[in-house]
Amino acid sequence: MDFEFTEAEQAFSAEVDQWLVDHHDPVVMDLTRENFSQLCDTPERRAFMKKLAAKGWLGITWPEEYGGQAGEGVYEFILNEALARCAAPQIGKGVGIIGKTLIRHGSEKLKHEFLPKIINAEIEFAVGYSEPQAGSDAANMQLKAEKVDGGWKLNGQKIWTTSAHFADWYWFGARTDPDPSKKHAGISVFLLPMDAPGLEIQSMPTIGKDTTNQVFFTDVFVGDDYLVGEPGKGFQYISEALDLERFTMFTFSPIQARTELLCDYVRQAERDGKPLREDPVVRQQIAQLVTQTEVARVLGLRFVAASIKGGKPPTVEASTYKLFATQLSQRTADVALDIMGAEGQIKVDTEDAPLQGRFEGTYRCTVVETIGGGSSEIQKNIIARRGLGLPRNF
C-alpha cells in the first residue's frame, strides 16, 4: 500500500500549514493542554473555528447537499493533523462524529437544524455515553427514557462528559426499552439543549489538569423530533460514532512532536558529565519510541485508506489505531521522565524545568487518553472479536 501523499494532497497540506502560520494565536494554540487542546471551550477558540469554517474546511468529506465538498477522507486527516500539530482546536465532535452520524441516520428536521450550524462553527456539543455503572460498556447504560405524550421523560445520570460545562447541545444515549433481553436493542440516541429544565451539570477536575463533568437528569423532557434515527438503534449509532471518535479525537501529530522533542533533549543533555546520547540504554529506548511512532503513523493512514472506501467507519482499524497510539503516548511520557530523572517531575510551565515541564503534564494527560473513547481493554476486545474472529469468552 502506498502511504505517500499525492501532489494535490501535499499542496493542500502546505496551504493549511501556511494558513496556520498566518493565523497563529498563542492564546488559542496552547501545547501544554495536550489532547484537550481540541476543545472549543473559550470565545477565542470559537472565533478561530469560525475562521476555519469561512475557509470551507469544515465538512470536507460531507456531501455537497449538506454544504460539504464530498472530498476524500485524507484531506480531513491532513487538516486535523495540522491543527493538532500546533495545538489548535480540531474539527471535533460536531463535524467528525455528530454531523456524520446525522447525515447517515438523522431525520430531515435534524439535518436541517444542525448540519448548517455545525459546518459554520456555530454550535458545540457534549457527548454522553458513560455512566457510573456503564463506563466502557455502553450497552449497559441505564439512563431511563420513559415515553410520554409528545416525547420522552429522562431520569438518571451520565459521567465523564468532558464538554458539558460549555457545550450548547447534548448528544447522548438512553434506555428506551427496559427489557433486559434487549441490552443492545433497547438504547436510543437523543439531542438535548444543555439548558433544558431538570438537567444539572457538576464539574470534575481530571488528573490531566482539565475538566470533565457529571450530568444529572431529573424529569427532563425531550421531544420526539430530537430522537436520532430509529428507537432502539442507538447502540449501532453510538458504535459508529465511537469509531470516528477513536480516530479523530486522538491525533498522531502530538505523539510525533513529543518523540521529536525528547530526541532533541537527548541529543543535547548530559548526565554525570557524559552525553545522554551515548548511553546504550537511552539509545535503545529512543530507538524503540521512534520505531513505534512510525508504526502509529502508518496505522492512522491505514484507517484513512479504509475510510475512503465509503460506508460506515472501519471498526477494527479505528480500535487498532486508538489502542496503539494512546498507549504509545503513555510510553513516551514514561520514558521521558525516566531519562530526565527527578527534574522531569517539575510542573509544566515552571521556568527551570527541563523542556518547561512538558512531559510532566503529558504524563498526566495521557492517562485520560487511554480511557476516553473506550478504554484500552475495550479496544482489545473489539480487535479480538471483530478482527481475529475470537469468541466473546476466550
233 three-class SS: coil
Count of positions (residues) in the chain: 394
Give the integer Cα–Cα distance in Å for 160 and 312: 26
CA triplet 211, 236, 105: central angle to 5 degrees?
95
309 or 288, higher pLDDT? 288
Mean pLDDT value of segment 183-210 = 91
Per annotation, catalytic residue among 81, 240, 245, 317: 245
Residues 69 and 195 in one domain: no
> Residue 248: which pLDDT band, with cuts at 50, 70 and 90?
low
CATH for 140? 2.40.110.10
Helix (H) / strand (E) element for 221: namely strand 211-223
147 with 161: CB under 8 angstroms? no
Residues 342 and 219 in one domain: no
Task: Please indicate whether residue 278 is annotated as part of the active site.
Answer: no
| 251 pLDDT above the threshold of 90 | no
pLDDT single digits (tens) 31-66: 888 877 788 899 999 999 999 999 999 989 899 999
- In whole angstroms, how far apart are CA 79 and each of 101, 316, 355? 20, 23, 27
Percentage of residues in the chain having pLDDT higher than 70: 94
Residue 101 belongs to some domain of the structure = no
| 301 pLDDT above the threshold of 90 | no
* pTM value > 0.75: yes
Work out how many domains the chain is built from and give that number.
Answer: 3
Quote the domain boundaries for residue 219.
126-233
Helix ranges restricted to H, 121-252: 234-248
Give the integer Cα–Cα distance in Å for 102 and 113: 11
Kindly report the average pLDDT of the chain as a whole number. 89
Per-position b or e across 340-379, b if 16+ CB within 10 A of its CB: beeebebebeeeebbbbbbbbbbbbbbebbbbbbbbbebb
61 with 76: CB under 8 angstroms? yes
Residues 228 and 273 in one domain: no
Residues 80 and 158 in one domain: no
CATH for 256? 1.20.140.10
Residue 267 belongs to some domain of the structure = yes
Residues 134 and 56 in one domain: no
pLDDT of residue 347: 85
Residues 171 and 49 in one domain: no
pLDDT of residue 223: 97
| 305 pLDDT above the threshold of 70 | no
